[in-house]
């Protein structure tokens, strides 16, 4: 760095005068600067060198950051798109110090700044989504993945239009392995795709998940997976159900298609653009037919009451070939986690949290359990009224007889009671012919289930229960035969009679102040040795979350509190 002859202020590369700090992040600081050679303002990114102690513990880190910064500039220089920030120049000091990246100066604020004032109108969010998608498609066509699409990295020009910036953790196809071999989780925990959390390198579909989450936050006014800590958020990204969007109008079905945990089930860039264009063509101001009057004009932030479910048609267990329509909004309940990958070291770049260390710090430990977690729970099968029939062979799935196929009992009040939970299971069984599920999510007023398409199938569909009716929501995904945590199980074998005690204990012990959401997740939980596990959750509008994890015998095997 040299100095100017006229005013003594520092110059970068003898040409760029620093004017003011614009912002900073994990990769460095961005300055407003004056290009004295061309007499124009630019944005100058100063790559932050690591702390000497960090460098001492991680030899070569400085060189890695330098290489990543140079890669950013080269990646952006390959793109020419109105919604991608333009790189003018890169300064590589001869002394080997950190480089500077010279970019266009975007006059305006970020989407994060805009959302601090409240949610976006749906038409505005759809326009924003198409602009960001255009930038991502251009990047993907050049072999570049962004990996950190989030509101803070989308700038809004003063004259209109969005600009995607901060490709500092972008990955070029030909340069991926050597710069991600450390196992670090690079990206913002709240917006990173679940497959990237699991340590998979990801593909363009991973960036599209991040875009979908950005649009969900933009229109719904809250982040569905934000928790009290970065570690808890990472776990939520992997496991927790995503509440159906109810404030997103014509955008809601698009978000439902996009926010699924199996990347193969997400629309690609071209299809997503078509879906957004169709949503954009909806009449301005037209109410969402799935929204209640209160949802049509939401005020402020926070998770609202979910919408009602459309009346279902007949769904025999031998499902017909499914031709996916644009589905109504639902929870993206597909879960695709691998136990070995879940237990590897994960690090969030924002918080620098190592997942393995975090789990130890939280005191993850598991009580010894016998068998597959279903033995000793009683070989009972619920009948259509939510009661039980004679015992049968463990693990078997039997279609209901005509006598058992009468309508499930009416349900009043919260679903989170033993009788009502069994009535929900009976209703799912009435619609599908089985109580062997891949996963089950139960809230106070509605429930979701992932159910195999037929006995022994490697595919499953999603169903929703509300107001005593079951409706098929669409394709769920695939069931991996190599993953123990992915295998279906009999949901009747969980300790539903203990639910009242567990609910009271959750209220008393989880330390979630003023909870506004109570729900139960049942699946094969990786942190319980892939055994069927019932988790009782409490969350509030400030992102605090706590849960009890209970095995098939009713024993609490783990507890996470909000403090």
Per-residue pLDDT tens digits of the chain, which is 563 residues long: 554 444 556 688 888 888 888 876 656 688 889 988 888 998 888 776 666 666 666 677 667 767 766 776 777 777 888 898 888 888 877 776 778 888 888 888 899 999 998 999 999 999 999 999 999 999 888 878 888 899 988 999 888 899 998 775 555 444 433 334 344 555 578 899 999 888 777 789 999 999 999 999 999 999 999 887 788 888 889 888 888 888 899 999 999 999 999 898 999 999 999 999 999 885 444 443 333 333 333 334 444 444 443 333 332 223 322 233 333 343 333 333 333 333 333 333 333 333 333 333 333 333 322 233 333 333 333 333 333 333 333 333 444 443 344 555 668 899 999 999 999 999 999 999 999 999 998 988 889 899 999 999 999 888 989 889 999 877 777 888 888 888 999 999 999 999 999 999 999 999 888 888 888 999 998 778 889 999 998 887 666 778 899 999 999 999 988 87
pTM of the model: 0.53
> Within 10 A of 131 (CB to CB), how many other CB atoms are there?
20
- Does residue 485 carry a catalytic annotation? no
Q: What string of H, E and C letters represents the secondary structure of 215-241?
A: HHHHHHCCCCCCCCCHHHHHHHHHHCC
* Matching residue, tokens 């069927």: 532
* Matching residue, tokens 């500039």: 73
What CA–CA distance (Å, rounded) separates 210 from 216? 10
What integer pLDDT is reported at residue 446 of this predicted model?
Answer: 86
Q: How far is CA 561 from CA 234, 362, 500, 537, in A?
A: 16, 10, 19, 10
What integer pLDDT is reported at residue 308 of this predicted model?
Answer: 42
Three-class DSSP category at 7: coil
Residues 73 and 118 sit within 8 Å (Cβ to Cβ): no
What integer pLDDT is reported at residue 541 of this predicted model?
Answer: 67
What integer pLDDT is reported at residue 464 of this predicted model?
Answer: 87
* Strand-by-strand arrangement of the 469-478 sheet: 469-478, 459-466, 446-452, 439-443, 517-525, 531-539, 545-550, 556-560
Cα 107 off chain centre by: 31
What secondary structure letter does DSSP report for 265? Answer: G
Residues 30 and 22 sit within 8 Å (Cβ to Cβ): yes
What CA–CA distance (Å, rounded) separates 213 from 224? 9
Cα 447 off chain centre by: 19
What secondary structure letter does DSSP report for 405? Answer: G
Domain ranges of the chain: 1-105, 108-281+310-364, 365-560
The dihedral built from the CA positions of residue 246, 251, 255 and 256, taken in this order, carries a sign that is positive
Classify residue 532 by burial, with Cβ atoms within 10 Å: 0-12, 13-18, 19+. Answer: buried
Q: How far is CA 405 from CA 320, 428, 433, 449, 460, in A?
A: 20, 11, 9, 19, 22
What integer pLDDT is reported at residue 83 of this predicted model?
Answer: 92
What integer pLDDT is reported at residue 534 of this predicted model?
Answer: 95
- Domain covering 108-281+310-364: architecture: Orthogonal Bundle (1.10)
Residues 83 and 163 sit within 8 Å (Cβ to Cβ): yes
Residues 148 and 187 sit within 8 Å (Cβ to Cβ): yes
> Within 10 A of 139 (CB to CB), how many other CB atoms are there?
23
Three-class DSSP category at 57: helix
Got the DSSP string for 421-445? HHHHHHHHHHHHS--EESEEEEESS
* Matching residue, tokens 């109580």: 435
What integer pLDDT is reported at residue 318 of this predicted model?
Answer: 31
Three-class DSSP category at 324: coil
What CA–CA distance (Å, rounded) separates 375 from 369? 10
The answer to whether domain 1-105 has CATH 3.30.450.40 is: no
What integer pLDDT is reported at residue 328 of this predicted model?
Answer: 38
Close Cβ partners of 284 (under 8 Å, ≥ 6 residues apart): 123
Classify residue 174 by burial, with Cβ atoms within 10 Å: 0-12, 13-18, 19+. Answer: exposed
List 35, 148, 207, 383, catalytic entry: 148
Cα 404 off chain centre by: 39
């Amino acid at each position: 760095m040299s100095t100017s002859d006229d005013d003594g202020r520092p110059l970068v590369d003898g040409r760029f005068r620093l004017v003011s700090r614009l912002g900073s992040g994990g990769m460095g600081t961005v300055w407003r600067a004056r290009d004295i050679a061309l007499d124009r303002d630019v944005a100058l990114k100063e790559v932050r060198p690591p702390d000497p102690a960090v460098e001492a513990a991680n030899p070569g880190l400085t060189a890695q950051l330098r290489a990543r910064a140079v890669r950013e500039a080269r990646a952006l220089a390959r793109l020419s798109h109105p919604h991608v920030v333009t790189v003018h120049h890169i300064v590589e000091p001869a002394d080997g110090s950190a480089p500077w990246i010279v970019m266009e100066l975007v006059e305006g604020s970020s989407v994060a700044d805009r959302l601090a004032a409240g949610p976006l109108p749906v038409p505005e969010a759809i326009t924003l989504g198409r602009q960001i998608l255009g930038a991502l498609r251009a990047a993907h066509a050049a072999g570049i993945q962004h990996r950190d699409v989030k509101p803070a990295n989308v700038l809004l020009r003063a004259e209109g239009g969005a600009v995607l910036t901060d490709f500092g953790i972008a990955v070029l196809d030909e340069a991926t392995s050597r710069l991600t071999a450390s196992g670090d989780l690079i990206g913002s925990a709240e917006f990173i795709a679940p497959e990237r959390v699991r340590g998979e390198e990801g593909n363009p579909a991973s960036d599209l998940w991040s875009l979908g989450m950005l649009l969900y936050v933009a229109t719904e006014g809250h982040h569905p997976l934000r928790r009290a800590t970065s570690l808890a958020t990472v776990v939520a990204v992997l496991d927790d159900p995503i509440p159906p969007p109810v404030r997103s109008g014509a955008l809601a079905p698009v978000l439902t298609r996009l926010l699924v945990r199996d990347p193969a089930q997400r629309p690609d860039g071209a299809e997503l653009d078509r879906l957004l264009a169709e949503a954009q063509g909806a009449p301005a101001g037209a109410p969402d037919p799935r929204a209640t009057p209160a949802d049509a004009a939401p005020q402020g932030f926070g998770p609202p009451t979910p919408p009602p479910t459309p009346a279902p048609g007949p769904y025999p267990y031998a499902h017909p070939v499914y031709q996916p329509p644009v589905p109504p909004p639902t929870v993206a309940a597909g879960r695709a986690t691998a136990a070995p990958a879940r237990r590897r070291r994960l690090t969030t770049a924002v918080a620098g949290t190592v997942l393995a260390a975090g789990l130890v710090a939280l005191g993850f430990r598991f009580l010894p359990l016998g068998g597959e977690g279903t033995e000793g729970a009683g070989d009972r099968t619920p009948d259509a009224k939510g009661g039980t029939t004679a015992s049968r062979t463990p693990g078997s799935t039997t279609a209901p007889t005509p006598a058992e196929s009468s309508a499930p009992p009416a349900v009043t009040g919260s679903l989170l009671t033993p009788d009502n939970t069994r009535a929900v299971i009976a209703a799912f069984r009435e619609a599908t012919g089985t109580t062997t599920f891949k996963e089950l999510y139960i809230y106070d007023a509605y429930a979701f289930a992932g159910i195999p398409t037929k006995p022994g199938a490697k595919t499953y569909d999603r169903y929703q229960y509300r107001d005593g009716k079951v409706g098929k929501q669409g394709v769920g995904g695939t069931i991996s035969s190599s993953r123990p945590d992915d295998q279906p199980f009999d949901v009747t074998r969980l300790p539903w009679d203990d639910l009242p005690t567990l609910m009271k204990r959750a209220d008393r012990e989880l330390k979630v102040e003023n909870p506004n959401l109570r729900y139960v997740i049942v699946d094969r939980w990786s942190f319980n040795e892939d055994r069927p596990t019932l988790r009782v959750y409490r969350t509030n509008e400030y992102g605090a979350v706590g849960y009890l994890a209970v095995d098939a015998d009713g024993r609490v095997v783990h507890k996470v509190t909000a403090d």
